[in-house]
């Protein structure tokens, strides 16, 4: 009955278990209030402004309902997501594969890295006109743009991660007669996984940027095309719907990758804790 004596002591000394109410213990209250004030101010100010220039939250909500009802939002979102998944998948496969090669072989690294560094340093948007000339305005140009935006962070992080694997781990593998393949898949790849995950996190954000840039300029399908279309029609409320969707998409993807990163890097944490 230790708890009872605790309570007795507390009562005797006139102490209180509860902390006095503090605003700081309720951060979500402050957050909600802040967002509400912002939305209210926007609503009031927005209604007085020319609707071509600035819209207001309820108009954005109405536009959102309209776009969802007509199915347009989902159709375009699906198109965008398909391109994103295909382009990102390609950059993941190639980036990790080539990264393993570059991290393992110094000759391969020397052959490839001048080109890769040059391409990585180039702001990839600058390549848009060239790519549009080569690949047209359809799905393929989006795919290539997303690939180019996402590929380099994955490649560079994978190569860096593989180079970072301590030589003694590989030596132990060799001492136990592991084949090259086993060393690659059982030693190097798992050891490099946290680095790869970090590269993927950067790449996801960039892939979304690549998708939007491609769609803004080709302006035929996808969320970016909706932005251009409604911008030209001066339908500001609908533009905001698209911007909010893109924001949520970005937020969701980044959170998703963070979770993945924690899952993949879990052994790394346990390794550190065991020491």
Contact residues: other proteins, CB under 8 A: 23-24, 27, 30-31, 34-35, 38, 52-54, 106-107, 109-115, 117-119, 121-130, 132-134, 198, 201-202, 205, 208-209, 212-213, 216-217, 223-224, 227-228, 231, 234, 236, 239-240, 242-243, 246-248, 250-251, 254
Residue among 72, 90, 91 at smallest CA distance from 222: 72
Shortest spacing between CB 109 and other proteins, in angstroms: 8
Which CB atom, from 135 or from 189, has the smaller least distance to other proteins? 135
- Distances in Å between the Cα of 89 and the Cα atoms of 143, 204, 209, 261 are 10, 11, 16, 17
Shortest spacing between CB 8 and other proteins, in angstroms: 34
Specify whether the CB–CB gap between 93 and 155 falls below 8 A.
no
Which CB atom, from 97 or from 247, has the smaller least distance to other proteins? 247
Which CB atom, from 96 or from 239, has the smaller least distance to other proteins? 239
Shortest spacing between CB 132 and other proteins, in angstroms: 7
Quick one: residue 177, left, alpha or beta (phi over 0 = left, psi -120 to 50 = alpha)?
A: left
| Distance (Å, whole) CA 221 – CA 76 | 6
Shortest spacing between CB 275 and other proteins, in angstroms: 21
Shortest spacing between CB 125 and other proteins, in angstroms: 5
Shortest spacing between CB 44 and other proteins, in angstroms: 18
Which CB atom, from 80 or from 100, has the smaller least distance to other proteins? 80
Shortest spacing between CB 7 and other proteins, in angstroms: 32
Quick one: residue 75, left, alpha or beta (phi over 0 = left, psi -120 to 50 = alpha)?
A: alpha
Which CB atom, from 92 or from 204, has the smaller least distance to other proteins? 204
Specify whether the CB–CB gap between 207 and 84 falls below 8 A.
yes
Alpha carbon of residue 125 to chain centroid? 18
Residue 47 CB partners (closer than 8 Å, separation 6+): 56
DSSP reduced 3-state for 107: helix
Which CB atom, from 126 or from 177, has the smaller least distance to other proteins? 126
Place of tokens 């380099």: 152
Residue among 252, 248, 220, 265 at smallest CA distance from 64: 248
Which CB atom, from 71 or from 114, has the smaller least distance to other proteins? 114
């Amino acid at each position: 009955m230790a708890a009872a004596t605790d309570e007795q002591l507390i009562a005797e000394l006139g102490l209180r278990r509860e902390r006095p109410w503090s605003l700081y213990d309720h951060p979500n209250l402050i957050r909600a209030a802040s967002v509400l004030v912002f939305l209210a101010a926007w609503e009031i100010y927005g209604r007085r402004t020319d609707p071509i220039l600035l819209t207001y939250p309820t108009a954005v909500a109405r536009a959102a309902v309209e776009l969802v009802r007509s199915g347009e939002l989902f159709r375009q979102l699906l198109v965008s997501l398909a391109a994103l998944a295909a382009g990102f998948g390609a950059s993941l496969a190639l980036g990790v594969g080539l990264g393993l090669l570059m991290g393992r072989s110094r000759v391969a690294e020397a052959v490839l890295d001048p080109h890769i560094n040059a391409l990585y340093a180039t702001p990839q948007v600058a390549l848009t006109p060239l790519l549009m000339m080569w690949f047209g305005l359809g799905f393929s140009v989006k795919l290539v743009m997303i690939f180019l935006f996402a590929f380099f962070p994955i490649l560079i992080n994978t190569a860096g991660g593989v180079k970072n694997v301590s030589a003694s781990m590989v030596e132990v593998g060799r001492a136990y007669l592991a084949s090259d393949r086993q060393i690659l898949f059982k030693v190097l790849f798992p050891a490099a996984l946290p680095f790869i995950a970090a590269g993927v996190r950067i790449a996801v954000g960039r892939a979304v940027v690549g998708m939007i840039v491609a769609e803004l300029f080709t302006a035929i399908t996808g969320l970016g095309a909706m932005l251009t279309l409604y911008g030209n029609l001066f339908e500001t409320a609908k533009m905001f719907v698209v911007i909010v969707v893109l924001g949520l998409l970005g937020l969701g993807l980044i959170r998703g990758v963070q979770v993945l990163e924690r899952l993949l890097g879990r052994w790394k944490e346990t390794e550190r804790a065991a020491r």
